[in-house]
Amino acid sequence: MRRRDLLKAAAGAPAASALAADALAAGDESASANATAAEPTATRQTTAPFPGILDSNVSLFRWPFRRLPLDETGALVAKLRSLGIVRAFVGSFEGIFHRDLSAANRRLAEECAAFPELEPAASVNPAMPGWQRDLDEAPRVVRLHPGYHGYALDDPRFAELLDAAAGRGLLVQIAVALEDVRTQPTMARVADVDPSPLASLLADRPGASVQLLNWKPRPPAVEALAGCPGLLVDTALADGTDAVARLVDAFGADRVLFGTHAPFLIPEAALVRVHEAALDEPVLGAVLHGNADRASSVER
C-alpha cells in the first residue's frame, strides 16, 4: 500500500483494516500461504489475531499557547478509533503547567473514565514536594516533563523517583520535547531534555522501565543509549521513510513503541512512518501493540 492509499483509508474507514489487518492477517491461513509460498520455509511465520493499535503518546486538554486540532477529547478519540487505535496512554497538558498535580491527575482520570480506550499517565514532578503521593496514585504509567518542570536527568531527585517507580512496577515516560522551538512563544522557550544521563542511571537499575517520548533519534545519541537496559523509545518524531526501521535495528524489536504525539501531530503521520518501515509481521505487531502492553503491565 502506498502512502496516499493509507491516508485515504484512514480518512474514510478504520485504518486497522488497511494497515494492521493486511500486515497481520492472523486468521486467514490461505492468504498467508499464498503470500509466503515463494519464501524459504525458515522465513514463514504465523501470527496471533491482531488486538489493535496501542498509542503510547497522546495528551488531553488545551495547550495554553494555541488551539490544536483534536484538542477536544471526543474528537480526538473518534480520530483514534477511525485509525484502529484501541488503547492509548494519555498525559495531560494541565500536568505540565498546573502547580497542583494531584488535582490535574484527578481531572485526567475522570476524563479517561468516559472513554475505554484511554489510560491515564499521571504527571509527576520530583522537583515539587509531595511527588511521592502522585506516584502512589498513578495506575500504571507516569509522565515526566523535566524541561518544563526545571530539572535535568542527572538531578538526584529524578534518580529517587526512578527507584520508587521501579519498586512499584511503573512505566516512566519522559517527554524529551513537546513543541518545536520554532513555534514556541518567545517568552516560554523550553529546550529539549538531554537523555544522556540515562545511560548510567539505567545501568545501575535493571528493574526500571523508562520510555523517551518525542525524542529525535540522532547519532551519536542513538549509539550511547541503545545499550541501556530498560530504555524504550517511541516513534512520534522518527523522521524519514526508514526511521522506524533504524530505531528497531538500534534498540531491538522489543523496545520501540508506537506513539503519535497527538494532538500536536496528526496521528496518520505516525502510521505512515511505521508502514513505510516494511517491518516483518511479528515486529510490526510488537511495535504497534505488544511492546507498550508489556511495558505498562505491573506483572512484568
210-223 burial, b at 16+ Cβ within 10 Å, e below that, comes to bbbbbbebeeeebe
Residue 133 falls within a domain, yes or no? yes
Q: Which helix (H) or strand (E) holds 122?
A: strand 118-123
Summarised one tens digit per residue, pLDDT across range 192-232 is 999 999 999 999 998 999 999 999 988 888 999 998 989 99
Residue 300 confidence (pLDDT) above 70: no
Question: 98 φ, ψ to 5°?
Answer: -85, 140
Residue 143 confidence (pLDDT) above 60: yes
Residue 41 falls within a domain, yes or no? no
Could you tell me the CATH number of the domain that includes residue 115?
Answer: 3.20.20.140
| Res 229: pLDDT | 87
Sheet containing 118-123: order of strands: 53-60, 85-92, 118-123, 141-144, 171-175, 210-213, 231-234, 256-257
Residue 167 falls within a domain, yes or no? yes
Which residue(s) pair with 232 in the sheet? Answer: 211
Residue 25 falls within a domain, yes or no? no
| Res 42: pLDDT | 32
Residue 36 falls within a domain, yes or no? no
Residue 160 confidence (pLDDT) above 80: yes
Residue with the bigger pLDDT between 13 and 144: it is: 144
Residue 130: band (very low, low, confident or very high) from pLDDT cuts 50, 70, 90: very high
Residue 114 falls within a domain, yes or no? yes
Residue with the bigger pLDDT between 241 and 210: it is: 210
Residue 23 falls within a domain, yes or no? no
| Domain limits for position 271 | 3-11+50-180+190-295
Which residue(s) pair with 92 in the sheet? Answer: 60
Residue 298: band (very low, low, confident or very high) from pLDDT cuts 50, 70, 90: low
Mean pLDDT of all residues in 161-179: 96
Residue with the bigger pLDDT between 219 and 277: it is: 277
Q: What is the DSSP string of 89-108?
A: EEEESHHHH-S-HHHHHHHH
Which residue(s) pair with 141 in the sheet? Answer: 121, 171
Residue 14 confidence (pLDDT) above 70: no
State the Cα–Cα distance between residues 112 and 117, nearest whole angstrom: 8
Residue 50: band (very low, low, confident or very high) from pLDDT cuts 50, 70, 90: low
Spell out the residues 6+ positions from residue 225 whose beta carbon is closer than 8 angstroms to its own: 195, 196, 198, 199, 231
Residue 188 confidence (pLDDT) above 80: yes
Mean pLDDT of all residues in 130-147: 96
Residue 146: band (very low, low, confident or very high) from pLDDT cuts 50, 70, 90: very high
Domain count for the chain: 1
Residue 28: band (very low, low, confident or very high) from pLDDT cuts 50, 70, 90: very low
48-60 burial, b at 16+ Cβ within 10 Å, e below that, comes to eebbbbbbbbbbb
Residue 269 confidence (pLDDT) above 90: yes
Residue 269 falls within a domain, yes or no? yes
Summarised one tens digit per residue, pLDDT across range 114-125 is 999 999 999 999
